[in-house]
Chains A and B, each alone.
Chain A
Amino acid sequence: MKRSHIPTWCILLLLGGMATGLVFTGMKFVQPVFAETSPDHPFINLMSAAIPAEQTYIQTANNLTMQASRISISPEQAGFKLCFQTPNPGDWLPWEVSLVIGKQEIPDFSSMTLSEPETVNGMEMKCHLLSFPLSGSRTAQDMILRVDQIAVSMPEYPDYERAKQQLAEAGVAIEFTCKHQDYIFGCEVFKKPADMSLEDAEQLVYDAIQDDVKGPWVFEFQP
């Protein structure tokens, strides 16, 4: 019987070395898995009261397709299911959204991220439930849902040096500094072009920091 070139005790010693190394460095063999269970929330009512998904509306802007469906109206709120393609795997959210109902614009909205991506017309999309608060009784009226911007949520401590570089490369003469301290993050513009308002300068800074795509995606609904 042919003997192995490497004695068994050598193999055991090597394996022991690896195990000791991994233990000392605190390496985890299994990452914790989080159960994606949705907690109770007001959107539950919206979900159950939503109109079945036969009627869908599709818009494309900036090469990203967005779909609105499951439109629901109650005296308290208007609800939509919004799905869209994303440029990368980040937690893309509807960021700037408004609803015009009748002649009134409602800029405040709430959204809930649905955990699983969906395939719509062969495209993988990330989906959210949107709701807009309504006041007073509503009759059926024309509505316009306007999504001006989708964005990845802002990290607690974002990489603002990269944003400085981006603005400089784009020839934007804005100088700013950012501070992260005691659970607060923010940036302050200290130099900007004379013909630019401070609000516009701040907007440019945060746009550069945040990963976003601007639309608009506009959906018109008629009763």
Chain B
Amino acid sequence: MSIHKNGIRDNMKLTKLIVLFPIPFLLAILVSSVTADPTCSGTGCNGLNPNSTGCDASATTLYQTTNNGAKLELRKSTVCSTYWAKTTNVSGVNKYANATLKYYYYSYSPAPIPNYQYVYSSQRYGTDGAYMNACGQVSNSIIDSMIYSPCVP
């Protein structure tokens, strides 16, 4: 009799266990969906868009400068350890713009962009930010190549 009772109890425990087993799994899914992790890491982020990869969610501006109607920024993602350049047109009139992460990537506007609009480059992974320079310009003509001046830092 007692053997039979123990058997029933064991079966109930097993049923509970089967029911409870997926709970940690579901909790883990919930936690991971709330925290939107970047979709890349390390050198796997090289050449990718900091916004579409989610790296820009933790972005800060390390350096900035204003020069001839352009505001240049060197941006860093603290989570992805990546860097990119950003150029904002602050000239007051429509201009072509270029943002270059020196030696690596550049983006440019194919048409003049209005005041306060900005263009940013692809990102590059770096462990300590050494040799990362943001260069950029705004101009009356298209700048469809990498530029090397002015830059920050």
A residues contacting B by CB (< 8 A) are: 7, 10, 13-14, 17-18, 20-22, 24-28, 31-32, 34-35, 37-43, 91, 93, 107-113, 153-157, 180, 182-188, 199, 202-203, 205-206
Are A10 and B13 in contact, with the CB atoms below 8 A? yes
Number of A-B contacts (CB under 8 A): 141
Specify which chain A residues have a CB less than 8 angstroms from the CB of B137 in the assembled complex: none
Other than the given A153-B59, A186-B116, 8 more pairs (CB < 8 A) read A18-B28, A21-B28, A25-B32, A35-B128, A39-B132, A110-B153, A156-B59, A187-B116
The CA of A35 and the CA of B127, in the complex, are separated in Å by 7
Most buried by A among B109, B128, B130, B153: B153
Specify which chain A residues have a CB less than 8 angstroms from the CB of B99 in the assembled complex: 183
Selected A-B contacts with CB under 8 Å, 15 pairs? A10-B13, A13-B17, A14-B21, A20-B25, A21-B27, A31-B79, A37-B130, A43-B153, A111-B64, A111-B65, A154-B118, A185-B118, A186-B118, A202-B116, A206-B116
Residue of A nearest to B65 (CB): A110
Known: A14-B20, A26-B37. A156 touches B56 (CB 8 A): yes
The CA of A174 and the CA of B50, in the complex, are separated in Å by 30
Q: B60 within 8 Å of A by Cβ?
A: yes
Specify which chain A residues have a CB less than 8 angstroms from the CB of B130 in the assembled complex: 37, 39-40
Specify which chain B residues have a CB less than 8 angstroms from the CB of A206 in the assembled complex: 116
The CA of A7 and the CA of B13, in the complex, are separated in Å by 10
Are B118 and A184 in contact, with the CB atoms below 8 A? yes
The CA of A179 and the CA of B121, in the complex, are separated in Å by 17
Specify which chain B residues have a CB less than 8 angstroms from the CB of A24 in the assembled complex: 25, 28-29
Known: A21-B25, A183-B49. A37 touches B56 (CB 8 A): no
Are B120 and A93 in contact, with the CB atoms below 8 A? no
Partner pick for A39 among B13, B56, B109, B129, CB 8 A cutoff: B129
The CA of A40 and the CA of B153, in the complex, are separated in Å by 8
Are A21 and B119 in contact, with the CB atoms below 8 A? no
Are A155 and B32 in contact, with the CB atoms below 8 A? no
The CA of A13 and the CA of B19, in the complex, are separated in Å by 12
A150 to chain B, nearest CB (A): 12
Most buried by A among B24, B51, B109, B131: B24
Residue of A nearest to B69 (CB): A108
Are A41 and B153 in contact, with the CB atoms below 8 A? yes
Residue of B nearest to A15 (CB): B24
Which residues between 25 and 51 of chain B lie within 8 Å of chain A, taking CB atoms? 25-29, 31-32, 37, 41, 49-51
A8 to chain B, nearest CB (A): 13
